[in-house]
Homo-oligomer: A and B are copies of this chain.
Amino acid sequence: MTNERRWADTSGLPPAPDATAKPVTLAHVARLAGVSENTVSRVIRDKGSIAPETRQRVNAAIEQLGYVPNRAAGSLASSSSLIIGVILPSLSNIVFPEVLRGINAGLSATPYRPMIGVTDYDLDIEHQLIASLLAWQPAAIITTGFDHTVGARRMLENSRVRVAELMDIDNAPIDLAVGLSHHEAGRAMAHHLVQRGYCNIAYVGHDWTADRRAHARYVGLCEGLAETGLSLVAECRTDQASSTLEGRKTLSNLLSGGVHIDAVAFSNDDMAVGGFMHCLAVNIAVPEELALIGFNGLEIGQVLPKPLTTVLSNRFAIGKTAVELLLAGVQRPDETVKIDTGFSIVEGATA
């Protein structure tokens, strides 16, 4: 059963002859094909058994009339829609457009469409968005992380739509989680630095209240260091969201502390790139005087005069995998599933 067959594209190129006049409905197609509406519906949805000859006649009629099914009617009748609700924390950070790109890629050969909402990292907004998306009776809701308001969690649990929680797999999902262990990623950063011979390691971070995953990496980092008998020699955290500017300022802050530091682990690449710029500005040799490691594997880090050493998170794969698994089963399975899309150290030139 190929995608081509499953999602037979009924809205093909021959366009509706005149959409103003009277929208073409199933009834028109049925009349022209000489069958009942229901049969047309079954042909379109590829459901039940249909005589090849009938199918062909119906498809011809669809084509001839340029019929485009009314999704609202379909949704109402079946109390479920071909909508995938997608809730993202932000669109400013390139990470989430990439997840969205993955989601879109997974959806593009299907009749499902993503309907999106952006929370700005606010759980109350997420709650409202969930309510508002649920009003469309979507096939699935995709959101990020495991933090939700009590009400939001209940709405998701009670509704029988499928739910994917992306980015993270360090907790118990409602239905499906796709992402990576940020705790493990943090540990890996520690081990990478230690292996490279750095032992005066510091941390530069951004606001954790919104970004729980950054915190998980921090914890993993500390744990990884502890495993080799080390611990952070210094750390500095801004209470702002991450950005190159904050990274630059926060590193500057950290270094003014006077502690001897030979490597800095950043909460993410934006911060690390900012840190790199600070080094450039005050003439600190990277990595000879100070090594830097980021997290995410953004393009921007790889475009620096020295490519940033970082940890690649597979954002595109997270989105795509989530969609594929969600569409594989319409029913929510009995047990929750976690999918690890992994991460990998990008050996740049800064650590």
Chain A interface residues toward B at CB < 8 A: 9, 11-16, 18-20, 68-73, 75-76, 79, 81, 83, 91-92, 94, 97-98, 100-101, 104, 108, 111, 113-118, 124, 127-128, 131-137, 151-152, 154-155, 158-160, 244, 273, 277, 280, 299-300, 303, 305
Contact = CB atoms under 8 A, between A and B. Distances in A.
A104 B118 contact: yes
A302 to B, nearest CB: 9
Given A72-B72, A113-B133, A92 B81 contact: no
A124 to B, nearest CB: 7
Contact of A76 (B69, B72, B79, B104): B72
B158 A19 contact: yes
> Which 4 pairs, one residue from A and one from B, show the smallest C-beta to C-beta distance?
A72-B75, A15-B151, A19-B158, A97-B97
Contacts of A75: 72, 75
- Name which of A72, A76, A115, A137 has the most chain B CB atoms within 10 A of its CB: A72
Given A72-B136, A244-B303, A273-B303, 19 more contacts: A11-B131, A11-B132, A15-B154, A19-B159, A20-B158, A71-B136, A72-B73, A91-B100, A91-B101, A91-B104, A92-B101, A97-B100, A100-B116, A104-B118, A113-B115, A113-B133, A115-B116, A116-B116, A277-B303
20 contacts: A9-B128, A11-B131, A11-B135, A15-B155, A68-B131, A68-B134, A72-B79, A72-B137, A91-B98, A91-B100, A91-B101, A94-B97, A100-B116, A104-B116, A104-B117, A113-B116, A113-B132, A114-B116, A116-B116, A244-B303
